Structure 1
Amino acid sequence: MIVRLVQRIGILLASLVVSSVLVFAFMAVLPGDPARVALGVSASDTAVAQLREQFGLDRPLVVQYFSWVKGLVTFDPGNSYISQTAIGPQIADRLQVTLWLVGAGMALACILAIPMGTLMAVRHRKPSGLILSALSQVGVAVPAFLAGILLVTVFAVGLGWLPANGWTPPAQDPVMFLKQLVLPALSLGLVQGAMLTRYVRSAVLDVLREDYLRTARAKGLRPTRALLRHGLRNAAVPVVTVLALHLATLLVGAVVIERVFVIPGLGSLLLDSVSNRDLIMVQDVVMIIAMAVLLVNFLVDIIYLVIDPRLRAGAS
């Protein structure tokens, strides 16, 4: 198991290096001079040259890359090209908001998908299972932003139960924080939960056909108890893979949802930076998102070792 863990850490570090090179290279080849954009088209060449020197844009690309990576590692990514304010505190504040949103959406998706998907598999030949399957298909067809608009129309505009937009930090007003979190979390969680339900159903169906589960039932265990005791752990292995993919999708989907509900998260910061052509901010935010996705995949590999004894045996 230790060997497997070391291998996964090595893959994670290599993936981070490759991702950083790709992100930096992509931003470097974009047309336009960040210093010229920051000062405006009417700025003199002398002022632009001074600002380029201040930002370090006059140095070779290799030097710029290692300076940027050093800033990320030391949590000091420098200043924005446009506002010339520190980037680190802005990203930290926005990241907290996005983590609340993504965490609530994923929790809701799991709460919805695991029992519903299991029930759909157990009752897949009965009317109730077919109805649930049809409902999940509808959920898959609805994009998150449309679900958000529908939820706002019903619960905010129509019924007036919840606020339509805005964000209040939990430390400032916990009640308002929860109210403002409900609709965006539902927008992400319902759609992702509908997709995840299909995978849970498929994984549980595969387990129900296994010989060891038939043996457990033949020994006198009731079908439900046999599934809970022997089947769900094996069904969890493919589902964990899908959870990692869906978590990455939630991070990307949060960009749109934050716009719909006017939430000051990482996605909103990214879109604002793109609009302002603040390339260093865009570069840092994209790298943060890439790091989050890679870290999730790494944690999934570790969870594999915990829930699947065959992998631990193979690693040893």
Structure 2
Amino acid sequence: MNDHQRGGPSGAAGEIQVLDHPTEPLPTPMGRSTRSHLRFIVRRLLLAPVILLGVALAVFVVIDFSPNDPARAALGFFADDDARARFAAEHGLDDPLPVRFVRFLGDLVHFDLGPSAVRPESVGELIALALPMTLQLLAISAVLAVIISLFLGTLAARAEGRWPDRIISFFAAIFQSSPQFWVGLLFIQLFAVGLGVLPSGGYQPLSAGFIYWFSSMVGPAVVLALPFSAQMTRIVRASMADELAKDYVRTAIGAGVPLRTVLWRNVLRNALITPITVLGVHLGAAISSAILVETVFNLPGMGSLLVSGVSQGDLGIVRGVAIVGAAAFVVINLLVDFSYLILNPRSAEASSR
């Protein structure tokens, strides 16, 4: 057993740092490491606008070929052809697709998502009213999912092959495969209709009181978090079990380091790389899952706004919600990439080369 595995002959027992890959090259000098991190950040920041441009083009083209007619949505189903032609001329709907897309990009740069064809408010104003509610829902569900998955995944990994591991894996498989709208209806039936401890739907702002706000948000947040908590639990369990089986864990424990110290200082940090990647993907996908949850619980968020835009044929709302959702997905994945600089700087250095 060499000194690298022991963390150095002079290290205290509680501060042993074990290299799980002794054959890896020594850390790069500080200046080179900093440059690698900067290249990693700059590359991700430069890639984000390109992704958003591609998404904006795809959303614009797909919605433009939709059979819905903005003029009919604005003027009503029984509007005559002359009125519809005047509306199309006034709003530039007869212009070629490239011209309309460039005009749309120009407005988008100025954070102008255009007018709503049905409502008096602009699309930006409607999204500004709906987005905070959806962000609250996503934040609460993400916190719940992380807490549940870290606790259950670590517990299952430490009891690998025994009955706690089997029970946790069984329920994780059930909740991961359960449709969210069905789980939401069961939640309402149990806690709202049966027990009467939570409202069946609707939203109360925080200004109405914390208890009222929390009671209106906890149900949708739990339903939105459950499938991902199950998926994350299985991933955390696998990552933790893999790390606990490595030599550096046995070496540290053999050197007198308590298991709890090794678990929290080394094992958990190394095992969180994959779960954090999945967390970023989930938060982006949860934006679409929130459509079902907000509809089931009658919450005035982005999902409900999108459903109303589709049902009313308001293509401006559909386009605006899609663009904002894509931007949120890109920002979330940027934050996940930057978190690698904290948890695993070597992955960032490798990506920047």
Q: Which category of TM-score, normalised to the shorter sequence, fits these structures?
A: over 0.9
State yes or no: 1:311 paired with 2:347. Answer: yes
8 Å Cα contact 2:69/2:313 also seen in 1: no
Give the aligned residue type for 1:159: L
Please name the residue that 1:142 is paired with: 178
**CA offsets per residue over residues 222-272 of structure 1, 9 Å max, x none?**
333212121111111111101011112221111001011110110011011
Please name the residue that 1:66 is paired with: 102
Please name the residue that 1:247 is paired with: 283
Show the 5 A alignment for 1:68-217.
68-217=104-253
Q: CA deviation at 1:63?
A: 2.2
Give the aligned residue type for 1:242: V
8 Å Cα contact 2:193/2:200 also seen in 1: yes
Distance 2:349 2:64 in 1: 46
Please name the residue that 2:59 is paired with: 23
Q: CA deviation at 1:173?
A: 3.2
**CA offsets per residue over residues 65-94 of structure 1, 9 Å max, x none?**
122223233222221112243111110110
Once the two structures are overlaid, the 10-residue window that deviates more, 120-129 or 269-278, is 120-129
Give the aligned residue type for 1:93: L
State yes or no: 1:222 paired with 2:258. Answer: yes
Find the residue that maps to 2:95 and give its secondary structure. Answer: coil
Please name the residue that 2:318 is paired with: 282
C-alpha distance 41-136 of structure 1, shift in aligned 2 (>3 A): closer
Give the aligned residue type for 2:114: G
TM-score, normalising length: structure 2: 0.85
Distance 1:141 1:33 in 2: 38
Distance 1:222 1:208 in 2: 13
Give the aligned residue type for 1:97: M
| Residue among 292, 297, 300 paired with 1:261 | 297
| Residue among 213, 232, 237 paired with 2:273 | 237
Distance 1:299 1:81 in 2: 35
Please name the residue that 1:301 is paired with: 337
C-alpha distance 139-42 of structure 1, shift in aligned 2 (>3 A): closer
Give the aligned residue type for 1:212: Y
Distance 1:305 1:259 in 2: 38
Distance 1:284 1:18 in 2: 15
State yes or no: 1:48 paired with 2:45. Answer: no
Give the aligned residue type for 1:2: L
Once the two structures are overlaid, the 10-residue window that deviates more, 269-278 or 135-144, is 135-144
Give the aligned residue type for 1:213: V
Distance 1:16 1:82 in 2: 27
**CA offsets per residue over residues 92-112 of structure 1, 9 Å max, x none?**
110111111111111111110
Give the aligned residue type for 2:58: L
Q: Which has the larger radius of gyration?
A: 2
**CA offsets per residue over residues 10-68 of structure 1, 9 Å max, x none?**
11111111111111111112224321332234323331122113322122222211222
Structure 1 unmatched runs, 5+: none
Percent of pairs with identical residues = 36
**CA offsets per residue over residues 102-135 of structure 1, 9 Å max, x none?**
1111111111001110110111122222222222
Distance 1:312 1:219 in 2: 31
Q: CA deviation at 1:150?
A: 1.4
Give the aligned residue type for 1:193: S
Give the aligned residue type for 1:20: A
Distance 1:37 1:15 in 2: 31
Distance 1:205 1:61 in 2: 54
Structure 2 unmatched runs, 5+: 1-36
Please name the residue that 2:69 is paired with: 33
Once the two structures are overlaid, the 10-residue window that deviates more, 260-269 or 42-51, is 42-51
Aligned residues: 316
